């Protein structure tokens, strides 16, 4: 153990910002997208941690002593901005100015997703992870119905994005090898792991988020072709 459990989440989230900051300062053209997407996902990350993730199977210890905190905001910012980076490097698209952004598609999809997950989690008493999966399917079909985005390239992006995101767990293992077992209630999950220590649900989350992100991102950019 190099880092105490209370600080693992905070240290990991701060380290996660390093690639985002490097790209931010070296690619001026994409700063608006990184800031906008990063902040939106950061707020959603904080809300979802409070309402869903820390209610049944994930109990991270934060610097404030609770199960959610500033770490969730930072991780959300990384999640969104890193998705912009991966999309830019491997699946470049046309970048538009601020006035051309389609905020309606972002708002409608986020609201639909949150309403869906609230219903499945609170009304049907499904786990937060299963509620997330079902609400994500709803969001994906909603987006495909409203756009002509290439689903194959979207899946390719999601796979690349999710694979690159796994570095976070190896960093956690490096600074505190017991933190994942202490933080996740593995009895409520499938028990399947990647590399012997990463719950498969974590990879599925990044994969599904990648699919939803790219659909929303391209629609937000008002891209007519992909």
Chunk the chain into consecutive blocks of 10 residues (it has 226) and report each block's average pLDDT, rounded to whole numbers. Answer: 88 94 92 92 91 86 83 96 94 67 79 90 91 90 76 92 96 94 87 92 94 86 64
> Which pLDDT score, from 0 to 100, does residue 198 have?
94
- What whole-number distance in Å separates Cα of residue 53 and Cα of residue 129? 8
Closest CA to 150 of 95, 208, 226, 93: 226
CB 88 within 8 A of CB 160: no
Inter-helix orientation angle 200-220/70-90, to 10°:
60
Q: How many helices (H) and strands (E) does the chain have?
A: 9, 2
Residue 184 φ/ψ, nearest 5 degrees:
-95, 135
Answer whether residue 157 is part of any domain. yes
Answer whether residue 225 is part of any domain. no
Answer whether residue 14 is part of any domain. yes
> Which pLDDT score, from 0 to 100, does residue 191 have?
86
Q: Please state the pTM of the whole predicted model.
A: 0.90
> Which pLDDT score, from 0 to 100, does residue 96 have?
59
> Which pLDDT score, from 0 to 100, does residue 162 have?
96
Structural domain including 154 reads 5-220
Answer whether residue 226 is part of any domain. no
Answer whether residue 210 is part of any domain. yes
> Which pLDDT score, from 0 to 100, does residue 100 have?
64
Report in angstroms the alpha-carbon separations of 73 from 47, 99, 121: 9, 26, 22
Number of domains into which the chain is organized: 1
């Amino acid at each position: 153990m190099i880092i105490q459990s209370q600080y693992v989440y905070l240290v990991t989230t701060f380290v996660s910002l390093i690639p985002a900051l490097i790209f931010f300062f070296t690619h001026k053209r994409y700063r608006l997208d990184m800031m906008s997407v990063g902040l939106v996902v950061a707020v959603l990350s904080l809300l979802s941690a409070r309402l869903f993730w820390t209610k049944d199977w994930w109990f991270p210890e934060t610097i404030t002593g609770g199960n959610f905190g500033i770490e969730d905001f930072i991780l959300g910012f990384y999640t969104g901005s890193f998705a912009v980076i991966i999309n830019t490097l491997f699946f470049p698209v046309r970048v538009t100015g601020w006035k051309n952004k389609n905020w309606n598609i972002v708002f409608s999809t986020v609201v639909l997703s949150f309403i869906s997950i609230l219903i499945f989690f609170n009304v049907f008493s499904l786990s937060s992870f299963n509620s997330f999966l079902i609400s994500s399917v709803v969001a994906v079909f909603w987006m495909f119905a409203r756009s002509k985005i290439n689903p194959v390239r979207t899946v390719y992006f999601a796979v690349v994005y999710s694979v690159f995101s796994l570095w976070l767990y190896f960093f956690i293992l490096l600074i505190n090898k017991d933190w994942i077992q202490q933080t996740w209630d593995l009895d409520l999950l499938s028990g399947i792991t990647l590399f012997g220590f990463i719950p498969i649900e974590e990879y599925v989350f990044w994969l599904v988020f990648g699919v939803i992100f790219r659909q929303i991102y391209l629609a937000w950019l008002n891209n007519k072709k992909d």
